[in-house]
């Protein structure tokens, strides 16, 4: 059985640009979903866990709002093609729009096992 890959982008955007970012994000997601192999996108916001300190690499929550966009991709080949060709262009667009108010971290999630 062919398995989809999740490509996850965690974004930290300064609170004073959060509204602008959230207005910009749907158009960006449309561009990504137009790429071959991208089948779905989900947008999450994060909230701190109670009684747990923030990780050392996190930006202060008083300054930044954090969002996570999780894309489902049909194959490793489609994701690799996107990362090599289209992603650099879209990253430059985000950087041009939000500059130092914007920080993104990316990772690829591959399901190893699913519990019932």
Query: Under a CB-based contact definition with an 8 Å cutoff, are residues 38 and 78 in contact?
Result: yes
3-class DSSP state of 37: coil
Domain boundaries, the chain: 11-48+61-109
Per-residue pLDDT of 71-103, as tens digits, reads 999 999 999 999 999 999 999 999 999 999 999
Q: Are 77 and 37 in contact (CB under 8 A)?
A: yes
Q: What angle do CA 63, 83, 92 make, to 5 degrees?
A: 50
| Structural contact between residues 23 and 98, judged by C-beta atoms closer than 8 angstroms | no
H or E segment and range at residue 78: helix 76-85
* pLDDT for position 113: 84
pLDDT one-digit tens code per residue, 39-51: 999 999 988 777 6
CATH architecture of 11-48+61-109: 2-Layer Sandwich (3.30)
């Amino acid at each position: 059985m062919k398995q989809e890959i999740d490509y996850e982008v965690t974004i930290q955007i300064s609170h004073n640009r959060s509204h602008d970012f959230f207005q910009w994000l749907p158009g960006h997601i449309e561009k990504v979903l137009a790429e071959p192999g991208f089948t779905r996108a989900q947008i999450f916001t994060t909230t701190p866990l109670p009684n747990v300190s923030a990780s050392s690499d996190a930006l202060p929550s008083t300054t930044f709002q954090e969002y996570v966009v999780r894309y489902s991709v049909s194959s490793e080949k489609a994701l690799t093609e996107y990362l090599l060709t289209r992603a650099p262009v879209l990253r430059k667009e985000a950087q041009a729009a939000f500059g130092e108010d914007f920080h993104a971290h990316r990772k690829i999630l591959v399901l190893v096992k699913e519990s019932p």
